[in-house]
C-alpha cells in the first residue's frame, strides 16, 4: 500500500491562546492519512496559554509560507493578535492558497480581521459571535459551520466536533467514525450548563465578569480594530 500524500496542517499560536482550541482539533486532525502538524508562531519561543502552561512552536511564519489546512484557535490573546501586522500578513498569505481555511472559538475573529471570512458564514464562541458582523461576516449560532472551504467551530470544545467533521469531508465518514472511536469521544457532560441558553443566570453573570476582567471592553476593541482595518 502506498503512503498517503502529505497534508500540511498549520495551527497559529499566539500568547494567550486557549490551548484546547488548538490541541483538541490537532489530536483529531493528526489522524488524517498523511497529516503533518505545524505549530506556527512569530518565533520558536514557548507560547503562554490560558491554562498556565506554554506550547512549543515547531515553526515560524517564515518556515510555513503555505499549508493545505490553516487552523486558527481563539483565546483572550485574540485581540493583540488581531492588531499584529505580521500575524495578519501570515494569515493572508497562507489563507490565500490553503485548501481549507478554518478556526475554532474566537479564532474566527482573527480570520475575519485578516479579511479571510468577508462574505462568509462562520461560527464563534457564543459571547463574541456577534462581533463577526463588524468584519462583514455572517455570525451563525451553530457548533460547526461549513461555507465553501471555510470551516469554523464554536467555543473551545466545539473544536473536536469541527475537526471530526473536517476529517469526514477530507477522508470520508468511515475514517472520521474510526477516529472518533479511537479517541473514545462519547461525551456525557455531568452538567447541562454548556450554553448560555441552558446556564443559569448566576453562572452567566460569573462568566461575563471573568471576560471583563481578562479582556475588558472586548467588543469595543474588536469594533475599533474592524473600523481601522476598513480604512
Q: What is the pLDDT of residues 206-222, one digit of tens each?
A: 999 999 998 999 999 99
Name the average pLDDT for the chain: 97
- Catalytic residues, which ones? 105
Maximum pairwise Cα distance, the chain:
57
For residues 64 and 207, give the distance between their C-alpha atoms in angstroms, rounded to a whole number.
36
pLDDT tens per residue across span 192-206? 999 999 999 999 999
Q: Are 47 and 14 in contact (CB under 8 A)?
A: yes
- 7-230: CATH topology is Rossmann fold (3.40.50)
**pLDDT at position 2, please?**
64
Band (3; pLDDT cuts 50, 70, 90)? confident
Average pLDDT for 35-51? 98
Say if residue 4's pLDDT is above 90. Answer: no
Q: What is the mean pLDDT of residues 56-76?
A: 98
Report pLDDT for 1: 47
Which residue in 210, 224, 164 sits closest to 50, CA to CA?
210
Q: According to the model, what pLDDT value does residue 105 have? A: 98
Q: Which tens digits make up the pLDDT trace of 87-132?
A: 999 999 999 999 999 999 999 999 999 999 999 999 999 999 999 9
| Helix segments in 30-84, DSSP class H | 78-82
Amino acid at each position: 500500500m502506498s503512503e498517503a500524500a502529505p497534508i500540511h496542517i498549520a495551527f497559529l499560536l499566539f500568547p494567550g491562546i486557549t490551548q484546547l482550541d488548538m490541541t483538541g482539533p490537532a489530536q483529531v486532525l493528526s489522524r488524517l492519512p498523511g497529516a503533518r502538524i505545524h505549530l506556527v508562531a512569530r518565533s520558536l519561543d514557548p507560547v503562554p496559554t490560558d491554562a498556565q502552561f506554554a506550547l512549543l512552536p515547531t515553526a515560524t511564519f517564515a518556515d510555513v509560507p503555505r499549508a493545505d489546512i490553516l487552523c486558527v484557535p481563539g483565546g483572550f490573546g485574540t485581540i493583540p493578535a488581531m492588531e499584529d501586522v505580521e500575524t495578519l500578513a501570515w494569515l493572508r498569505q497562507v489563507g490565500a492558497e490553503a485548501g481549507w481555511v478554518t478556526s475554532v472559538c474566537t479564532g474566527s475573529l482573527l480570520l475575519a480581521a485578516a479579511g479571510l471570512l468577508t462574505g462568509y458564514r462562520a461560527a464563534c464562541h457564543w459571547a463574541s459571535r456577534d462581533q463577526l458582523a463588524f468584519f462583514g461576516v455572517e455570525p451563525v449560532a451553530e457548533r460547526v459551520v461549513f461555507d465553501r472551504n471555510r470551516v469554523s467551530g464554536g467555543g473551545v470544545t466545539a473544536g473536536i466536533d469541527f475537526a471530526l467533521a473536517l476529517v469526514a469531508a477530507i477522508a470520508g465518514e468511515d475514517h472520521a467514525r474510526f477516529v472518533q472511536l479511537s479517541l473514545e469521544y462519547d461525551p456525557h457532560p455531568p452538567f447541562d450548563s454548556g450554553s448560555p441558553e441552558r446556564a443559569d443566570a448566576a453562572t452567566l453573570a460569573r462568566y461575563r465578569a471573568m471576560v471583563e476582567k481578562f479582556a475588558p471592553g472586548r467588543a469595543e476593541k474588536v469594533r475599533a480594530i474592524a473600523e481601522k482595518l476598513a480604512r
